[in-house]
Chains A and B, each alone.
Chain A
Amino acid sequence: MNKTVNHKAWFLVLPVLVLVAFNAFIPLMTVVNYSVQETFGDNTFFWAGLIWFEDVLHSERFHAALVRQLTFTFTILAIEIPLGVVIALTMPKRGIWVPVCLVTMALPLLIPWNVVGAIWNIFALPEIGLLGQVLNGLGIDYNFTRQPGAAWFTLIAMDVWHWTSLVVLLAYAGLVSIPDAFYQAAKIDGASTWAIFRHIQLPKMKRVLTIAVLLRFMDSFNIYTEPFVLTGGGPGNSTTLLSIDLVKLALGQFDLGPAAAMSLIYFLIILALSWIFYTLMMRDEER
C-alpha cells in the first residue's frame, strides 16, 4: 500500500513513545549502569569497565545455561510447530465442533504462568500426580524431582501443553482464509493430499507461521516462571535456563555487576536473533 509522507504522524505515536520509553529506557539504563561498576554492598560504586562482560563471556556457568536454553528453545520449536500444523490441518473447518475445539485449545494460554507450573507439578509428582502414577505403574522409574532426564521430559511436555495451541490457532487462521475454489481446482487436477499441503496450504500459512516461530522463539527464550515453579532449576542445575540463572545471580547472590552484564548479553542475543526473523518476515511482506 502506498502511504503518504506525513511527519506530523509523530504526534500520534507520542503517547506510546512516552509510556514505553519510561518503562524501557530507565530500567535499561539502570542495568547498563550496574554492568560497568563494582560495589561492596554499602551503596558505593566504583567504575569497573568491561570486566563483568569478560567474566560472563568466559564463565562456564553462563555457557552451560546458554546451551541448556538453546536446547530447550529448539526442542520445543521442533515439536510445537509441526504438531501445531498437523492439528490445524485435521481440525474441523465448520460446524459446532469449531468453537468447542478453539475454546478448549485456547484454555492453557490464559492460565497464569505460575499456575501452569503448579498444575504440572501436581500432575507429574510420582506420589500424588496422575502422570507420575501412570508412568510408575507401567514400570518406568519416573521422578522428575530427582532425575534430570525426567525433569527435562516434564519441562518439555509442559511447554508443549502450554503453547502448542498458539501455533494451532495461528495455522488454523491461515487455513480458513483459503477460498474453497482453490481446493476444487486441486480436486479437478487430481492433486494428492501432500500436493495440496505443499502448494496450497503451506504457502498460505507461511506468514502466520513466521509470526508463530517469532513469538515462540522470543517467549521460550524468556521463560522463567513455569520452570521455576515446576523444578526450581533442579535437580542440581539440570534445568536452570538463562532467566533462572540470572535471577539466582542477581537476587540470590546479589552479584549485581555480573548479573547486569549477563542481562545485557542475554538481551543482545535475543535482539540479534529476533532481528533476523523480523527482517525475513518484513522482506516477505513487501514482496
Chain B
Amino acid sequence: MRRLSPLVPALYILFVMLPIYWLLNMSFKTTNEILGDFTLWPREFTLENYITIFSDPTWYMGYVNSLAYVTINTVISVTAALPAAYAFSRYRFLGDKHLFFWLLTNRMAPVAVFALPFFQLYSAVGLFDTHLAVALAHTLFNIPLAVWILEGFMSGVPRQLDETAYVDGYSFPHFFVRIFLPTIAAGIGVACFFCFMFSWVELLLAKTLTAVEAKPIAATMTRTASSSGYELGLLAAAGTLTIVPGAFVIYFVRNYIAKGFALGRV
C-alpha cells in the first residue's frame, strides 16, 4: 500500500497531461497529416501554425486584448477589495454579514443569465467593445472572490499590529499602506492570481461585450473554427498559446499556491 501510493498522483498527472500533449502534438502538424493519418507524434514537423498566429494581427491582437482586460480587471478588483476586506476582518457594522453573503451571491450568478442585460447595459453607457467594459464586467465575480481571500489573510494578522500603530501616531491611510499591506503581501499575490485566473478563463461575457477592437483570443478561436472550416492545426496552436500565460503565472506563485487555494483559511 505504502509503496504503491506514489502511483496515484503519477497516474493523475498522466491523465492531466495526455489531452494537453495531444493539443501540442496537433499544433505542430499540417492539416493534411491531422485529417489523413493517425500519428502519435508529428511526422512532418511544422511551425507554420505558430508563424500564422504571430504574423496575423487578427490573431496576435487577441492575446494583447485578453491580457489588457485581465490586467485592468485584476488591478480594479484587488484595489477595491483591499479596504472592504479590511472592514470585514476588523469591524462589526450594520448589515455586515448580509453584505458579505450578498457579495458571494454574485459569485454564484449564472453568467449565461446576465449575458444579454450586460450587453444592453454596456452599450447604453457607451463602453461596448472596450477593454474597460470586459474588465468591469468581470469584477462581478472577481471582487467577491478577492474580498473573500483577502479577508481570510487579514484575519490571520493579529489586531495588536493595528493598535500599536495607532498608539504610535500613524493615521489610518499611512498605517494601511506602509505597514499593513506589506504584512499581507502574500495574500495580495494570491488574490491577484485568482483574479487573473478567473478573468483569463471566462469567455461568455468577454465575447458578449466585444466586437472587433477588444476581441479576446478565445473568441477569435471560436470564430475561426466556424468560419473557415477545419483548421485544426491553427486552432491547436492558438489553444497551446493560451496555456502559456497561465503556466507562467502558476510558476511564480507555486510556493503560495497551497495556502492560496485554501483562501488563507487553513
Contact = CB atoms under 8 A, between A and B. Distances in A.
B47 interface: no
Interface stretch (A38-46, A54-62, A139-147, A246-254): A246-254
Interface in B210-266: 217-218, 221-222, 225, 232, 235-236, 239, 242-243, 245-247, 249-251, 254-255, 257-263, 265-266
B57 interface: no
Interface string A151-166: 0000000000100111
B1 interface: yes
B92 A111 contact: no
Given A9-B93, A247-B115, A103 B16 contact: no
Interface in B70-116: 76, 79-81, 83-84, 86-88, 90-94, 96, 99, 101, 103-116
Contact of B218 (A17, A99, A114): A114
Given A101-B13, A271-B105, A173 B6 contact: no
Nearest to B21: A130
Interface stretch (B48-56, B178-186, B195-203): B195-203
Contact of A207 (B6, B107, B249, B265): B265
B261 to A, nearest CB: 4
Given A107-B247, A123-B22, A225-B203, A16 B239 contact: no
A149 B103 CA distance: 38
A173 B261 contact: yes
B126 interface: no
B169 interface: no
Given A12-B84, A12-B87, A102-B257, A130 B93 contact: no
B121 interface: yes
B93 A90 contact: no
A166 B261 CA distance: 8
Contact of B20 (A107, A170, A271): A107
Most buried by A among B76, B249, B262: B262
A179 interface: no
A267 B19 contact: no
B9 A267 contact: no
A196 interface: no
A13 B34 contact: no
Contact of A6 (B84, B91, B254): B91
Contacts of A130: 18, 22, 40
Given A26-B117, A111-B242, A263-B110, A103 B266 contact: no
A31 B119 CA distance: 12
Q: Is the interface of B mostly helix, strand, loop or mixed?
A: helix
A246 B195 CA distance: 27
Contact of A161 (B16, B80, B143, B202): B16
Contacts of A164: 12
A256 B18 CA distance: 42
A113 B20 CA distance: 14
A95 B138 CA distance: 37
A4 B103 CA distance: 22
Contacts of B68: none
B204 interface: yes
A169 interface: yes
Contacts of A92: 6, 9
A172 B12 CA distance: 15
Q: Which 3 A-B pairs have the closest CB atoms?
A: A110-B246, A27-B117, A173-B262
9 contacts: A19-B136, A30-B120, A104-B13, A108-B20, A112-B218, A113-B218, A161-B19, A218-B108, A242-B110
Interface of B: 1, 5-9, 12-13, 15-20, 22-23, 26, 34-35, 38, 40, 76, 79-81, 83-84, 86-88, 90-94, 96, 99, 101, 103-118, 120-121, 136-137, 139-140, 143-144, 147, 155, 159, 197, 200-204, 217-218, 221-222, 225, 232, 235-236, 239, 242-243, 245-247, 249-251, 254-255, 257-263, 265-266
Given A110-B245, A172-B258, A267-B109, 4 more contacts: A110-B250, A114-B221, A119-B23, A244-B112
Interface of A: 1, 3-10, 12-13, 15-17, 19-20, 22-24, 26-28, 30-31, 86-87, 89-92, 99, 101-115, 118-120, 122-123, 127-130, 133, 161, 164-166, 168-170, 172-174, 176-177, 193, 207-208, 211, 218, 221-222, 224-225, 229, 242-244, 246-247, 250-251, 256, 263, 266-267, 270-271, 274-275, 278
